[in-house]
Amino acid sequence: MTNAPRLSVVLLILLTAIAPTLWGTTYIVTTELLPAERPFIAAFLRLLPAGIILVLISRHLPQPNEWLRIIILAILNFAIFHVLLFVAAYRLPGGLAAVVGAIQPLMMMFLIWFVDNRKPAQLALSASIIGVFGMAALLLSPSSKWDLVGILAATTGAVLMTSGVFLARRWRTDMPLLAFTGWQLLIAGVMLAPFAWFIDPPLLTLTTKNILGYGYLSLFGTTLAYVLWFNGIAKLSTVAVSSLGLLSPTAAVIIGWLLLGQSITGFALLGLIAVLGSVLTVQWALVPK
């Protein structure tokens, strides 16, 4: 392969990597800017405005045979996943909540292996296993704050996101990228509306800080991030895309260290390095030579 096509792949990887990096900021935004203990409201206000924006921009209606798949993807990629994401964000330190996602590349490889009968590249498989050990090092760090509900929420969210990425690649149609992303966001937001209204405590007032937090998550952490993410899913290997998801815990840990003074030393630091090394190795292994 010539250098020019390979360079375009590398640039696409870097653009796709922006998405999980932005997601890594979700945890500090949730704990520092949003009202406490409102996962359904947070997910609803994150998804619905982003969906409306992208649907209005795309001005494309799915075909009748596309609706069921779009609804299923909306549930997996957005509705349930984002509620679990905010449950984990409220109950766990940011780095710990995000790093559970290190299991995603490994799950994706086994999913492709058993469903599509495509055996993963040995280097990519080994790197993903190292990523899981890195995750374990962070989880088992003495400084980690354990919360069973938070860990279960983060783990279930990782499983759903892996399934969503796998199906999004298999079910990708000729629908424009903005419409494909926007309709999933809009449907998920509508689904969450009654839960946000009846389950979470009402938002009696919104401070400037709250508005900035919700606005940032909707515009940057959702609208921009998911357009880049689904563009990467359409053009890159599903394993490579899942591996990039590990940048979310990396960003979360670094932000927590820089802004909140959350220490990361010793065994936990080695775990973080292992996770980041896993991402780089998987990308290197899967980029066409």
Domain hosting residue 125, numbered range: 3-286
What is the spatial distance between Cα 67 and Cα 62, in angstroms, rounded to a whole number? 6
How confident is the model over 28-78, as pLDDT tens digits? 898 899 998 899 999 999 999 999 999 999 999 999 999 999 999 999 989
pTM over 0.75: yes
pLDDT score of 87: 86
Contacts of 277 (CB under 8 A, 6+ apart): 127, 130, 134
pLDDT score of 246: 73
pLDDT score of 227: 93
pLDDT score of 109: 78
Q: Kindly write down the DSSP assignment for every residue of 88-113, as one continuous string.
A: HHHHS-HHHHHHGGGGHHHHHHHHHH
pLDDT score of 1: 46
**Tally of structural domains, the chain:** 1
pLDDT score of 49: 96
Residues in the chain with pLDDT values less than 70: 1-5, 93-102, 123, 135-136, 138-146, 261-268, 282-289
C-beta separation of 160 from 80 below 8 A: yes
How confident is the model over 268-280, as pLDDT tens digits? 677 777 777 777 7
